[in-house]
Every structure is written in structure tokens, then in C-alpha cells.
């Protein structure tokens, strides 16, 4: 996912626009870094739903991995995702 986005930024750069493409890629990587960090900061169990939400929203966790969590946790994440997308 992230690699595809980065490749699209690079491929979309016009000839001679290397610096602009570099800056766009750098900004993109910073944004993605924040997204990933949000999923790992403060790894306490009480924040599991908060951490799982961006992972699930951005496809960073497979269905099989997600199913390993309790039904209550899965239901809470699914409900929150529904609230975000509605």
C-alpha cells in the first residue's frame, strides 16, 4: 500500500521536476510515519481499539490477524469504522 503510493508520486513527476517529486515523497512519508506511529504509541491494552482503528482503516492488519482479537474488540472497531465512514 505505502510502496504503491510512493511509486505513484515518483511516476507522476514531470521530467526535470526531481526536487518537487522528492518534496512530495518526503511529505507523504512523514504523513504515513505519523499514521504508523499512532498505531504503536502507548501500547497499553486499554488503548487497543484506538490503535486497531487506523490499522484496520488503512489495511495494515489482515482479516485473519484482526479476527484474533476478542469479539468485543472487533465489534468496537467495526462500530467506530462505521461512524467514521457514515
pLDDT of residue 45: 65
- Distance of alpha carbon 10 from the chain centroid: 20
What range defines the domain where residue 27 resides? 1-41
| Integer Cα distance of 49 and 33 in angstroms | 19
Whether residue 28 is found in the same domain as residue 48: no
Q: Is the dihedral of CA 43, 45, 48, 49 positive or negative?
A: negative
CA separation (Å) from 16 to 22, 35, 62? 12, 31, 39
Query: Mean pLDDT of residues grouped by 10 in the chain (86 residues)?
Result: 81 84 90 75 70 84 92 92 75
* 74 and 48 in a common domain: yes
Q: pTM for this structure?
A: 0.53
At 75 the pLDDT is: 93
Number of domains in the chain: 2
CA 56, CA 77: separation in Å to the nearest integer?
8
Same domain for 65 and 49? yes
Same domain, 25 and 56: no
The pLDDT value recorded for residue 53 is: 86
Confidence at residue 85, expressed as pLDDT on a 0 to 100 scale: 66
Q: Is residue 65 domain-shared with residue 37, that is, in the same domain? A: no
Question: With contact defined as beta carbons under 8 Å apart, do 13 and 21 qualify?
Answer: yes
Q: What pLDDT was estimated at residue 68?
A: 94
Amino acid at each position: 500500500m505505502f510502496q504503491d503510493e510512493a511509486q505513484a508520486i515518483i511516476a507522476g513527476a514531470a521530467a526535470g521536476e526531481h526536487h518537487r517529486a522528492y518534496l512530495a515523497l518526503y511529505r507523504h512519508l512523514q504523513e504515513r510515519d505519523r499514521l504508523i506511529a499512532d498505531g504503536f504509541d502507548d501500547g497499553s491494552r486499554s488503548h487497543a481499539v484506538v490503535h486497531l482503528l487506523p490499522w484496520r482503516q488503512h489495511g495494515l492488519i489482515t482479516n485473519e490477524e484482526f479476527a484474533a482479537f476478542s469479539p468485543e474488540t472487533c465489534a468496537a472497531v467495526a462500530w467506530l469504522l462505521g461512524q467514521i465512514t457514515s
